[in-house]
Structure 1
Amino acid sequence: MSRDTEISYEGVEHRPLSDFTEKAYLDYSMYVILDRALPHIADGLKPVQRRIIYAMSELGLSAASKPKKSARTVGDVLGKYHPHGDTACYEAMVLMAQPFSYRYPLVDGQGNWGSADDPRSFAAMRYTEARLAAFSDLLLREADQGTVDWTANFDGSLREPELLPARVPHVLLNGTTGIAVGMATDIPPHNLREVASACIHLLDDPEADAAALTQHVRGPDYPTEAEVITPAAELHKIYTTGHGSIRARAAWRVEEGNIVIDALPHQASGARVLEQIAGQMQAKKLPMVTDLRDESDHESPVRFVIEPKSNRVDRERLMDHLFATTDLEKQYRVNLNVIGLDGRPRVKDLREMLTEWLQYRRNVVQRRLEHRLEKVRDRLHVLEGLLTAFLNIDEVIAIIREEDEPKPVLMERFGLAERQAEAILELRLRHLAKLEEMKLRGEKDELENERAELEATLASADKLTALIRSELEQDAERFGDDRRSPLVERGAARALEASEVVAAEPITVILSEKGWIRQAKGHDVDPEGLSFRAGDGFRAAAAGRSNEPAIFLDSTGRTYAIPAHELPSARGHGEPLASRVNPPDGATFTGVLMGPAESEWLLATDAGFGFRMPLGEMRSRNRSGKAVLTVPKGAEVMLPARLGDPETDRIALATSAGRLLIVPAGEIPQMTRGKGQKLVGIPPKEYQAGSERLVATATIPQGGGLTVYAGQRHLTLTGNDLAAYTAERGKRGQTLPKGFQKVKGIAAG
């Protein structure tokens, strides 16, 4: 074609690209929503599921027939009704055959159809065989009785049902999940007997609200025996609003001291659960567990045994931790989004779903009765013609023998319709016996009675309702079973704290002058005898348990908590504390504390102020610590002193001026933060070099003594000697004997 040749666009439609893409996307969205992802409220099926079930029924694969290769079924579905991928079609078929996926399986499979541990481990369709399950009869039984509309398949060569005439609200029984464009559906499975009971209640009382219906449908019923632990109030809210979430928890029991798990939540993988528990054991996060065994077999598909370390282990608390940290507890989203009878997707509550399904069911039953009534009337019409022939048998035979066209003659002579005349001409000679006439009269009487019943039922809304109710009761009795998932309200699971997980072993935490930390096993450690880095030395140490936090106090009066078991071993020099916390600029670490949360400690500054404080109040998960002690300008933080019994203990306070004051511990106020109150009467001067300071504190237990160290000498005070230095809090105290006024330290003994 020459470049100069003009291209004609005559007859070509011109549309803005934005309009075209918008319409194309909307068309695609509606296709995904209506023809792929969401179930219809009538039969609870997506198109691919409906076509699989119908194709299997057309292949004669009823529950009583011999199964055929799954590839044959998939081939028929794809070739006749559903021109899509074979893999997706087969996976949809597999899902309907898995008893751990469907509460009431629709397909009865033979071969490897996957396992609860790995639902996708099923064999290829060329290996497996399948037929319809007996439950599918509830969806298909009335399909050929004029109950549903039919439409052409994708190429117009065959007819397929638009919906299946479900005899039960299947949309709630097996549930479904699906993701469309801009919307999704998550419908949990339910118990047939409970749902049928709710439908019957709604038939008896059409004005019943959701609260009344939840007396029958108490909650989801999954294929496993795991507990549904969602509170009844939340379940009621779900069925009232159409959305929410449900929690299910594994069932367990204690057997010979061991924990036995014998039911997992729906869609929970046993292999995954074992892997999660074993991972925690290897990470030493479950020191109270000594062994984990999988004793599952054919008789017990799920049997996991957890062996605690001793009988002292709180099994309830251990399982609570596992529920919080593994798939032994799962949460399921609920979104009752379905395609309604009006062809539109919408989230419906329980009452709307059951009411709309009953409306569909009433229409199906009415169409079935009308279809049957038409058949009965047609047969009665034929029987009337046949009986007329029997009453005039000789004349009928003569007309047939003598006339070339006997049909119009018969119609004119006896007033017969063409349909009746055809039936007379098709009679065989053996049917002319007297016995046949009696059978025809008996059949006519039965059909007349049936016609009267059908007409009466169709003319009475009450009788139609009674028929629907009766059929629901029969189907629930035949196919229903007891609830599998017990409804048990339980509190939220809580993982174990680090202190609960770590074994409570005795340890000693050492703090160096440069702020390096480490921990050594046992309490018989000589912290001052350990090796330190060059230029570093011992600052403080505290004895405690590995499941307790170590509390560090800095020079600004802030405290920091670190789990003691996370500290490095004392075999090395440790690591800098500043790498784990964020102290203020220029701050140094002055002390370390350990013990029970309720233990009390004396916090003080060398300005002579302080207070008592429980150790638990000093804990903080903040890396920046917690401001506890207010340090006056120029003052320094003293080493904390642990108190025993505030009612009987005494606190010894020694100053740089050689004075000693002993006060009852109960006189020292208990506070959670601040400067504290005056402990010893130091003159109110600026805290400068050379001014009097508080240099040492010690806790004297009841009946104990006190040793004062000064240079190479020491002085031990007991009994009356201590009484001489005892006074009220805030006093100056008594001067120590000559030679002991330059106090280096004091210690209870």
Structure 2
Amino acid sequence: MENQTTIANDGVEQLPLKAYTEKAYLDYSMYVILDRALPNIADGLKPVQRRIVYAMSELGLKATAKFKKSARTVGDVIGKFHPHGDSAAYEAMVLMAQNFSYRYPLVDGQGNWGSPDDPKSFAAMRYTESRLTAYADVLLSELGQGTVDWVPNFDGTMDEPSVLPARVPNVLLNGTTGIAVGMATDIPPHNLREVVNATIALLDNSKASVADLCEHIQGPDFPTGAELITPRADIQKMYETGRGSLRMRATWHKEDGDVIVTALPYQASGSKVLEQIAQQMQAKKLPMVADLRDESDHENPTRLLIVPRSNRVDVEAMMNHLFATTDLEKTYRVNLNVIGIDGRPQVKSLTGMLGEWLEFRTETTRRRLQYRLDKVLARLHILEGLLIAYLNIDEVIAIIRTEDKPKPVLMERFGLSDTQAEAILELKLRHLAKLEEMKIRGEQDELAAERDNLEATLGSPRKMKNLIRKELKEVAEQYGDDRRSPLVERTDAKAFSEEELMSVDPVTVVLSEKGWIRAAKGHDVDAEALSYKSGDKFKLAAKGRSNQPVIIFDNSGRSYTVAAHTLPSARGQGEPVTGRLNAPSGAVFNGMLMGSDDQRVLLASDAGYGFVAKLGDLQSKNRAGKAVLTLPKGAEVLNPVPLDDAHGHVVAVTTEGRMLVFPLAELPEMSRGKGNKMIGIPSARVAAREEYVVAVAVINETDVLRVFSGKRYLNLKFSELEHYLGERGRRGHKLPRGFQKVDGLVINPA
């Protein structure tokens, strides 16, 4: 066989590498899963945590004892139970002592045990001192009462408990995280009172659903006052499946115009949050924040101050941005993966976890009662023998004085058992007083009553449930506290876009004949007077705001988008626009616009076709742009015309000096295409470039149209354009003599 072990001639055992590595890895995986990374559902502890708590109890470090050096505890833990590194054991111990890491700490530390800002800043174990907290008694108080199984330690010299007899579901209370091989666990902490109430509800009704238990457990309860903003429906689904995620958001309020953050999400560092905000300020991505301060002290463990630049800043929007971009809001993975009482790891629902823990608690309680009953019966048996001795004290003394082996004689004479005879022989002379008989009878009565009570409880499931319920309530009464993490429904945080963060300044974007682009501040810029490279000159200009995109059109009818705020300053000569776009080789840029997304523009080709579009529809995130205007054969793109309203008239002039004026409303509104015919030119004449549209403008009734022909121009008021008015698509009428060759149109207010 492939995996068969063989013995070589020299007596060395030989195993195929495949079989050896497979077995070694599986053994390692099982060890990590069961003995290192995952908590047990019974006590909610990983082995190292259980061993620390047990070792401290063996050292007598109860909550009422004096503190002892942590090195003493760690030495015991790694020397007797946990053969691993001292730093690993000490770090596990530190975590159990940090009240910002554990909801109900198990270790009471004295000295530097780290801070929420830097949990790893704790002092070395030779400096710190520790003892168990009062809450740790919930795990340990029933340990010596036959409640759990004991297993040999790593070298077989002593025994340790396989689990601790927890009196509450600690696995949910303190939560835990761990990464095993092929699986992980992330259990959030919960509130003791809520968990106890839910456990009692499940004890009373074994068919209770997760929804029923969620009436008691509102959700996880972290050791911080930050808000839990996960919707209730998501929390319930998380408890039903055992998997999900949680979101926590810092709590804040306004104070004298400033923002004060008073609680951070679980395991978030105040200094890291301030660093994240400061980095955004340095990168000029947070212009609305003027200053930051950390005012945390002993009275206010968390007090971060954020100063807005002015009282006009929308503080809600600013905080929403910070929630989305810093640790002021954090997401936590939830994976309720635990080792069950059957010793198998499994992701469990809330009902599964509490139901299984109740099975463990019922068995623990039964074993405790049985252990006590055995002790009571043994003592009653001895008391019965002592009573016989007191009633026959003289004869007993005589037998002891005269017989060489008094034990068998006593057993035969009075019908005693070996245990009873031994107890009589062990009696001290001082206990031979007359009152001792009354004490024995009194102790017998007390123990008989206790025996009857124990037997009744063990024999009645109802009484057993009542006892478990009573003990759960006692723990909740003694150690329970109010919820710390409020559950609040909030909208999703949204970060500011790059455009929202930048300052909004007026700019004029200039494009040269050879395609060099730049942006000048302000709108009163003489673009033609700017400095150009040798052989280059001004071609196009567009006025807008620094937070608006620049839309550029090429001679193929494609539009491209460039962010205005990223363009070089007009102090220099700019940069080639082709460096920012993937335009076809030989493309000529002959149109440029800026404005809001709702700004409407007239797009036209010199074949006499056009349509109205919105700037938002012309934008493209693709460097290659998007096809917007479909061009007939031989046609070229005309410079787009911005529109102020929908009530103007379109003026179109051809190279033959023909002009047509028609209502703008006759053109369709589209996002792309060829458009409708504006002025009639035979397509063959356009293809041969014999006649085409020279210019297009949009005029209102209060405007004056200026028609240029060389150095001459003609001013026409709207009322003087009646001769040229017609339906869209007509040939139009000829302009007066001297204006048969039109160079351009300009619209001026009257």
The TM-score, its normalising length taken from structure 2, stands at: 0.95
Q: Which residue of 2 aligns with 1:593?
A: 593
Please tell me whether residue 214 in structure 1 is matched to residue 214 in structure 2.
Answer: yes
Find the aligned partners of 1:675 and 1:58 in 2 and give their Cα distance: 89
Q: Which residue of 2 aligns with 1:679?
A: 678
Q: Which residue of 2 aligns with 1:666?
A: 665
Q: Which residue of 1 aligns with 2:479?
A: 479
3-state SS in 1 of match to 2:484: coil
Cα pair 1:583 1:624 within 8 Å, conserved: yes
Map 1:600-619 onto structure 2 (within 5 A). Answer: 600-619=600-619
Displacement of 1:399 after TM fit? Answer: 4.5
Cα pair 1:634 1:686 within 8 Å, conserved: no
Q: Which residue of 1 aligns with 2:308?
A: 308
Q: Which residue of 2 aligns with 1:694?
A: 693
Please tell me whether residue 523 in structure 1 is matched to residue 520 in structure 2.
Answer: no
Measured against aligned partners, the alpha-carbon deviations of 1:41-75 in whole angstroms (never above 9, x if no partner) come to 11111111111110011111111111111111111
Question: Alpha carbons of 1:578 and 1:97: their partners in 2 closer, same or farther (altered >3 Å)?
Answer: same
Question: Alpha carbons of 1:138 and 1:256: their partners in 2 closer, same or farther (altered >3 Å)?
Answer: same
3-state SS in 2 of match to 1:292: strand
Q: Which residue of 1 aligns with 2:138?
A: 138
Q: Which residue of 1 aligns with 2:83?
A: 83
Displacement of 1:395 after TM fit? Answer: 4.2
Cα pair 1:644 1:701 within 8 Å, conserved: no
Map 1:696-735 onto structure 2 (within 5 A). Answer: 696-735=695-734
Find the aligned partners of 1:368 and 1:467 in 2 and give their Cα distance: 12
Question: Alpha carbons of 1:8 and 1:607: their partners in 2 closer, same or farther (altered >3 Å)?
Answer: closer
Map 1:361-400 onto structure 2 (within 5 A). Answer: 361-400=361-400
Q: Which residue of 1 aligns with 2:99?
A: 99
Find the aligned partners of 1:55 and 1:23 in 2 and give their Cα distance: 33
Find the aligned partners of 2:668 and 2:17 in 1 and give their Cα distance: 80
Please tell me whether residue 26 in structure 1 is matched to residue 26 in structure 2.
Answer: yes
Map 1:229-628 onto structure 2 (within 5 A). Answer: 229-401=229-401, 403=403, 405-628=405-628
Find the aligned partners of 1:368 and 1:693 in 2 and give their Cα distance: 103
Please tell me whether residue 175 in structure 1 is matched to residue 154 in structure 2.
Answer: no
Find the aligned partners of 1:434 and 1:722 in 2 and give their Cα distance: 138
Find the aligned partners of 1:545 and 1:191 in 2 and give their Cα distance: 53
Find the aligned partners of 1:21 and 1:474 in 2 and give their Cα distance: 52
Find the aligned partners of 1:308 and 1:157 in 2 and give their Cα distance: 66
Displacement of 1:299 after TM fit? Answer: 1.9
3-state SS in 1 of match to 2:206: coil
Question: Alpha carbons of 1:650 and 1:236: their partners in 2 closer, same or farther (altered >3 Å)?
Answer: same
Structure 1: gaps (5+ residues):
1-6
Displacement of 1:475 after TM fit? Answer: 0.8
Find the aligned partners of 2:522 and 2:292 in 1 and give their Cα distance: 30
Find the aligned partners of 2:519 and 2:192 in 1 and give their Cα distance: 62
- The residue type equivalent to 1:317 in the other structure is A
Find the aligned partners of 1:252 and 1:633 in 2 and give their Cα distance: 64
Measured against aligned partners, the alpha-carbon deviations of 1:309-332 in whole angstroms (never above 9, x if no partner) come to 333333332222222222222222
Q: For structure 1, which segment, 726-735 or 422-431, has the greater mean C-alpha deviation from structure 2 after superposition?
A: 422-431
3-state SS in 2 of match to 1:523: coil
Displacement of 1:426 after TM fit? Answer: 3.6
Find the aligned partners of 1:85 and 1:70 in 2 and give their Cα distance: 15
Find the aligned partners of 1:200 and 1:208 in 2 and give their Cα distance: 11
Displacement of 1:667 after TM fit? Answer: 2.2
Displacement of 1:256 after TM fit? Answer: 2.9
Measured against aligned partners, the alpha-carbon deviations of 1:119-166 in whole angstroms (never above 9, x if no partner) come to 212111111111111111111110001101112212222111111111
- The residue type equivalent to 1:154 in the other structure is F
Question: Alpha carbons of 1:651 and 1:304: their partners in 2 closer, same or farther (altered >3 Å)?
Answer: farther
Q: Which residue of 1 aligns with 2:224?
A: 224
3-state SS in 1 of match to 2:290: strand
3-state SS in 2 of match to 1:685: helix
Cα pair 1:190 1:221 within 8 Å, conserved: yes
Cα pair 1:539 1:591 within 8 Å, conserved: no
3-state SS in 1 of match to 2:470: helix
Cα pair 1:508 1:522 within 8 Å, conserved: yes
Cα pair 1:262 1:302 within 8 Å, conserved: yes
Cα pair 1:511 1:591 within 8 Å, conserved: no
- The residue type equivalent to 1:682 in the other structure is I
Measured against aligned partners, the alpha-carbon deviations of 1:334-392 in whole angstroms (never above 9, x if no partner) come to 22221111212222222221111111111100000001111111222222233333334
- The residue type equivalent to 2:215 in the other structure is Q
Measured against aligned partners, the alpha-carbon deviations of 1:540-563 in whole angstroms (never above 9, x if no partner) come to 111111111111111111112222
Q: Which residue of 2 aligns with 1:193?
A: 193
Map 1:60-75 onto structure 2 (within 5 A). Answer: 60-75=60-75
Q: Which residue of 1 aligns with 2:743?
A: 744
Map 1:628-667 onto structure 2 (within 5 A). Answer: 628-647=628-647, 649-667=648-666
Structure 2: gaps (5+ residues):
1-6
Find the aligned partners of 1:499 and 1:14 in 2 and give their Cα distance: 70
Find the aligned partners of 1:305 and 1:286 in 2 and give their Cα distance: 15
3-state SS in 1 of match to 2:684: coil
Q: For structure 1, which segment, 527-536 or 249-258, has the greater mean C-alpha deviation from structure 2 after superposition?
A: 249-258
Cα pair 2:705 2:718 within 8 Å, conserved: no
Displacement of 1:501 after TM fit? Answer: 1.2
Find the aligned partners of 2:358 and 2:689 in 1 and give their Cα distance: 96
Q: For structure 1, which segment, 7-16 or 635-644, has the greater mean C-alpha deviation from structure 2 after superposition?
A: 7-16
Identity of paired residues, percent?
65
Displacement of 1:684 after TM fit? Answer: 3.5
Measured against aligned partners, the alpha-carbon deviations of 1:465-521 in whole angstroms (never above 9, x if no partner) come to 111111111112211222222223334332222221111111111111222211111
Find the aligned partners of 2:344 and 2:432 in 1 and give their Cα distance: 58
- The residue type equivalent to 1:89 in the other structure is A
Find the aligned partners of 1:437 and 1:663 in 2 and give their Cα distance: 127
Find the aligned partners of 2:175 and 2:679 in 1 and give their Cα distance: 76
Find the aligned partners of 2:493 and 2:259 in 1 and give their Cα distance: 17
Find the aligned partners of 1:274 and 1:195 in 2 and give their Cα distance: 35
Find the aligned partners of 1:735 and 1:516 in 2 and give their Cα distance: 38
Find the aligned partners of 2:14 and 2:279 in 1 and give their Cα distance: 64
- The residue type equivalent to 1:15 in the other structure is L
Displacement of 1:394 after TM fit? Answer: 4.4
Q: Which residue of 2 aligns with 1:4?
A: none
Question: Alpha carbons of 1:295 and 1:633: their partners in 2 closer, same or farther (altered >3 Å)?
Answer: farther
Find the aligned partners of 1:125 and 1:294 in 2 and give their Cα distance: 30
Cα pair 1:661 1:733 within 8 Å, conserved: yes
Q: For structure 1, which segment, 531-540 or 457-466, has the greater mean C-alpha deviation from structure 2 after superposition?
A: 531-540
- The residue type equivalent to 1:52 in the other structure is I
Displacement of 1:79 after TM fit? Answer: 1.0
Measured against aligned partners, the alpha-carbon deviations of 1:437-485 in whole angstroms (never above 9, x if no partner) come to 4333332222211111100000001111111111111112211222222
- The residue type equivalent to 1:74 in the other structure is V
Displacement of 1:598 after TM fit? Answer: 0.8
- The residue type equivalent to 1:324 in the other structure is A
3-state SS in 2 of match to 1:687: helix
Find the aligned partners of 2:557 and 2:315 in 1 and give their Cα distance: 41
Measured against aligned partners, the alpha-carbon deviations of 1:676-709 in whole angstroms (never above 9, x if no partner) come to 1111223333424652221122232441222222
Question: Alpha carbons of 1:11 and 1:711: their partners in 2 closer, same or farther (altered >3 Å)?
Answer: closer
Number of aligned residue pairs: give it: 742
Q: Which residue of 2 aligns with 1:3?
A: none
- The residue type equivalent to 2:698 in the other structure is T
- The residue type equivalent to 2:677 in the other structure is K
3-state SS in 2 of match to 1:77: helix
3-state SS in 2 of match to 1:331: strand
Displacement of 1:615 after TM fit? Answer: 1.0
